[in-house]
Amino acid sequence: MADADLARVASVPLPPSCPELASLDLFLSVVRLGSVSRAATAHGITQPSASQRIRQLERQVGVALLDRSPNGSTPTEAGGLLADWAEAVVAAAAELAAGLEALCAPADGRLRTAASLTIAEYLLPGWLGALHRADRTARVELQVANSAAVIERVADGHADIGFIESPGPTGGLSSRQIGEDELVVVVAADQPWARRRGRAVPAATLAATPLVVREQGSGTRDALAAAFAAAGLVASEPLLELGSTTAVKEAAAAGAGPAVMSRLAVAREVATGHLVVIPVDGLNLARRLRAVWRSKEPLPALAAALLRRAERWRSA
């Protein structure tokens, strides 16, 4: 194509039917999370506001995009097509935004971040790699601790941004949901529960069983305690309290007893058959993953760029 032809194509404005990026981003979150309310929470807006924006998007494109039911929202055929097209558009916009933020950051910019163990081990490496590709001058300091310690380090000014798994209060810090995770009960392949052949363990049985768990203050431990409390149960004294994800996983694989861990942390061991996931009946083990930062200070440019990277993982 000749230069003149390219110039004419580039000068054609987008039509009015072209949706706004923010609306596309919200719509993709609904598709990924299966619920307008969950998407609203992830974007930090109210459900009525999210519903209004989705309806406005449908009016703009001229077709229904979601099938709504009491159990959630699923894309229509047209909505599925739009979601496929929008993925690349929103991802490119996120790359642009992160690049601009990195461009505005000081040349010798330093990012101090803190993260709980599951996020630090299984998610942050990918986010930081993408950040580094956008800004080769960025220097990142990562502090790995449990969720309680992450909140403390951010509040004390020792970290610009933190990532936690705990469902509890954040001590006055600003927070934003970046995704969801699921805790699972795992046992070694030769343990009695592994022979249940997919039959679920009742929540009351799990609560009465001494478990291999993380230490007090960890997001995994807090999320498990919150799940038991929501079900009206009190957990028995732990079999083992260990200070790292790897230690809990190794103890379970060695046959010490059932363990409760992030599905992210045990994916490889489950795939190889070293650990078996045991379904639990009557217990909600889903949990939110959140970013936290100091409320009264603007988020540094590099921290904002990292937050955008993390938000691209909302479908987890």
Looking up residue 24, the CATH number of its domain turns out to be: 1.10.10.10
Q: Which residues pair with 177 in a beta bridge?
A: 290
Cβ contact 280:200 at 8 Å = yes
- Specify whether 64 is located in the same domain as 133: no
- Specify whether 261 is located in the same domain as 117: no
Per 3-state DSSP, the chain is made up of helix, strand and coil in percentages (nearest 5) of: 50, 20, 30
What is the domain-level CATH number for residue 165? 3.40.190.10
- Per-residue pLDDT at 41: 85
Q: Rounded to two decimals, what is the model's pTM?
A: 0.64
Q: Does the residue 316 lie in any domain?
A: no
- Specify whether 193 is located in the same domain as 264: yes
- Specify whether 261 is located in the same domain as 281: yes
Give CA–CA dist 148/171, Å, rounded: 10
Please say which residue of 102, 133, 148 terminates a domain.
102
Tally the domains of the chain: 3
Retrieve residue 105's tokens: 């950051």
- Per-residue pLDDT at 290: 93
- Specify whether 241 is located in the same domain as 203: yes
Give CA–CA dist 127/131, Å, rounded: 6
Give CA–CA dist 62/64, Å, rounded: 7
What is the domain-level CATH number for residue 198? 3.40.190.290
Q: Which domain holds residue 66?
A: 3-102
- Specify whether 81 is located in the same domain as 119: no
Pick out the chain residues at pLDDT < 70.
Answer: 1-12, 95, 97-109, 313-316
CA 80-23-43 angle, 5° bins: 105
- Per-residue pLDDT at 102: 54
- Specify whether 61 is located in the same domain as 137: no
